[in-house]
Structure 1
Amino acid sequence: MPDVLESSPSGPYDALLLLSFGGPEGPEDVVPFLENVTRGRGIPKERLKEVGRHYFLFGGVSPINDQNRALLSALRADFAENGLDLPVHWGNRNWAPYLTDTLREMVQDGHRRILVLATSAYASYSGCRQYRENLADALATLEAEGLELPRVDKLRHYFNHPGFVEPMVDGVVEALADLPEEVRDGAHLAFTTHSIPTAAADTSGPVEEHGDGGSYVKQHLDVARVIAGAVRERTGVDRPWQLVYQSRSGAPHIPWLEPDICDHLEERHAAGVPAVVMVPIGFVSDHMEVLYDLDTEARAKAEELGLPVRRSATVGADPRFAAAIRDMIVERAAVERGQRVTPCALGALGASHDVCPVGCCPAARDPKPAAAGADSPYA
């Protein structure tokens, strides 16, 4: 493979790796997939079957893999149209194509400077550092196999990039327009994201941002504020909004971020709110947490209450998101070449760091090496 010239917009990087969570693609995959997700926790298979009932409701298929295939196509099309000669590969943490296998193939194909795009936009252990730990595990495997290790870096958090935010603004406006006219102007906006343990939220982001929700809550609130403001400008109506949570999966005695979306719908209905638009800002695409926790469970709660609800679209493979990824690749490559850049970001927080600092989003227990950060053993 020819070397990537430093004059190339993506140089010194010679490949992009889309790194995602993965999901089952048939009923027979559900329990093995959940065994991968929960490895080391000693959860019995019968319990995993119970946990997997959400997947069985949808034929045992998670939509996340097809959504990643669509994003891959969008990225490749955008790169080709804009002259960015950068191969795009795909690996998952918990299902095929597995990260280690993809990274091995990339190394065998001659890639030596790899940039990673994780399908998680915000700072947290599960949304960032755990991906970095998986990268370190994969690199350790390749090292044990005697392969030459590549340099692996990770793209910054993109929660406030215009190419991520603007499609969500459109989605909210479209969801509002779909509500009955008599309740539209009074609709409440419920910005939803994955609940995580409060302890994990408090230690998310760099050390100086730890405490009371950490970067995880701050970043979501900032994005919600930006979207609510843009919707106000587009519709001429200043609607109330709140950040709420969904998809809790931990033990009942451990505090997690609240309120839950279903509890929130009950509270809003009791307060006389005429309608709610659920805005899944914490999710890149319409995967299982969106299809079940919002489109199934929360919608059933709303129907029980007689509360009109709509759910706005996630970003998915929107061309603006693909263009944002290209923008951040070119931005990061310029930084690596020693050039000064002005990162693109909306809201009050500014662009996130390029390199995760020491102490960023630590594990609650059993700390492991993490690649693509200031504390990486594979720098």
Structure 2
Amino acid sequence: MTTYDAVLLSSFGGPEGQDDVIPFLRNVTRGRGIPDERLEEVAHHYRVHGGVSPINEQNRALKAALEAEIARRGIRLPVYWGNRNWHPYFADAVRAAHANGHDRLLALVTSAYTSYSGVGQYREDFEKALADTSLSDVMSIDRIREYFDHPGFVTPLVEGVEAAVAELTSDSSAGAADAVTRDDIHVLFVTHSIPAAAAEASGPQFGTGGAYVAQHCVVAHAVSEAAAAGIPWSLVYQSRSGDPRTPWLEPDINEAIADLAAAGEVKAVIIVPLGFVSDHMEVVWDLDNEALTTSAENGLRAVRVPTPGTHPAFVAGLVDLIEERLNDVPDDRRPHATELGPWPDHETVGTRAEKVVAR
């Protein structure tokens, strides 16, 4: 068995008031030299929501749900919470854990897929947190594997698509001309766009788009087969940023919606935030605002599926992944819903790594 003495819930972070917005965005874009007037263009998305991103409150709820499930199973591990870009920072969580005598942390990252921002950058964050707190010699941080196809992550998406199909096809108030059948629906699985080069680097052995695209495609297929068999689907992207000359993953969801409407073959779209664990500003703005507006402007009905959030299956699945590491469960007994799984574990961060079994 591998020994850990605490769980580190690790996330992106978000502002919690108008005064936090620009400092938060400076953190997100640090090192890029972006002036505040440019940041204000993005800040507008937060300002119309009172300067508050939903992500921190979602993480508080997830932390509480994890603590309850961990206690229910009789696992004696406290849960700490740290963020990359806003309070509480990773260094804050590391200091608190060490002060309480917890030096072997198992990180549960709120990113299900393989990419630099979801894997490599978190490793760098953990290394920096240990260095900044001068605890590299006494602490270690391990992390659970990517769980893009773990049943706990997939199940809430399946249920959400099933509910969306039912909602669109059972609207008795629609007239005959406006009624929607399964043949009138297209499912749009959406995730965060990243530079094409970064996608290729995520695992070139998986072909165009690397592991990042391959993982999303297999999960989209699994969800579609389980919840919307026979209904066509596409993988689309949102929230691209940066130099417009740099190729990013396409198509953009809004362009995809316009193209579907122009083709005249569908009356409705189901928007599935496949790449996201919980709601945050890029979900509530880019999907609930922009994508739903684009759908309405193009005469299409649209339903946005919920993110996993604190769905009981998702919470239970995350604790399954914790137990998987505690008990060194072999690969052939690790649950996975696609042929790409189970994804391998990661190396340990910190000089105590030799004392922690890393698969």
Q: TM-score, normalised by structure 1?
A: 0.87
- Letter of the 2:257 counterpart: L
Alignment equivalent of 1:225, drawn from 210, 217, 221: 221
Report how far residue 322 of structure 1 moved. 1.2
Is structure 2 residue 5 aligned with structure 1 residue 17?
no
- Letter of the 1:199 counterpart: A
Is structure 2 residue 258 aligned with structure 1 residue 266?
yes
- Partners of 2:120 and 2:36 lie apart in 1 by 27
Report how far residue 112 of structure 1 moved. 2.1
Alignment equivalent of 1:257, drawn from 243, 249, 252: 249
- Partners of 2:193 and 2:169 lie apart in 1 by 30
> After superposition, where does 1:39-54 map in structure 2 within 5 Å?
39-54=30-45
Partner of 1:239: 231
Report how far residue 297 of structure 1 moved. 0.4
Alignment equivalent of 1:130, drawn from 121, 136, 141: 121
Structure 1 gap ranges (5+): 1-5, 357-371
- Letter of the 1:48 counterpart: L
- Partners of 1:41 and 1:303 lie apart in 2 by 36
Report how far residue 77 of structure 1 moved. 1.0
- Partners of 2:242 and 2:352 lie apart in 1 by 32
Partner of 1:151: 140
- Letter of the 1:183 counterpart: V
Partner of 1:28: 19
Conservation of the 8 A alpha-carbon contact between 1:15 and 1:87: yes
Query: C-alpha root-mean-square deviation of aligned residues, in Å?
Result: 1.7
Partner of 1:166: 155
SS of residue paired to 1:192: strand
> After superposition, where does 1:78-227 map in structure 2 within 5 Å?
78-143=69-134, 148-181=137-170, 182-185=179-182, 186-205=184-203, 208-209=205-206, 211-227=207-223
- Partners of 2:272 and 2:116 lie apart in 1 by 23
- Partners of 2:109 and 2:24 lie apart in 1 by 19
Conservation of the 8 A alpha-carbon contact between 2:137 and 2:352: no
Report how far residue 167 of structure 1 moved. 0.8
Alignment equivalent of 1:300, drawn from 272, 281, 293: 293
| 1:56-95 CA distance string (max 9 Å, x none) | 1111100000000110111011111111121111000000
Report how far residue 147 of structure 1 moved. 7.1
Conservation of the 8 A alpha-carbon contact between 1:142 and 1:149: no
- Partners of 1:164 and 1:346 lie apart in 2 by 10
Partner of 2:357: none
Conservation of the 8 A alpha-carbon contact between 2:138 and 2:351: no
- Partners of 1:92 and 1:225 lie apart in 2 by 31
- Letter of the 1:79 counterpart: I
SS of residue paired to 1:243: strand
- Partners of 1:152 and 1:102 lie apart in 2 by 12
Is structure 2 residue 54 aligned with structure 1 residue 57?
no
- Partners of 1:55 and 1:158 lie apart in 2 by 29
Distance 1:178 1:274, change over 3 A: same
Q: TM-score, normalised by structure 2?
A: 0.92
- Letter of the 2:223 counterpart: I
Report how far residue 21 of structure 1 moved. 0.3
Aligned residues between the structures:
343
- Partners of 2:248 and 2:31 lie apart in 1 by 22
- Partners of 1:341 and 1:271 lie apart in 2 by 45
- Partners of 2:249 and 2:234 lie apart in 1 by 13
- Letter of the 1:151 counterpart: S
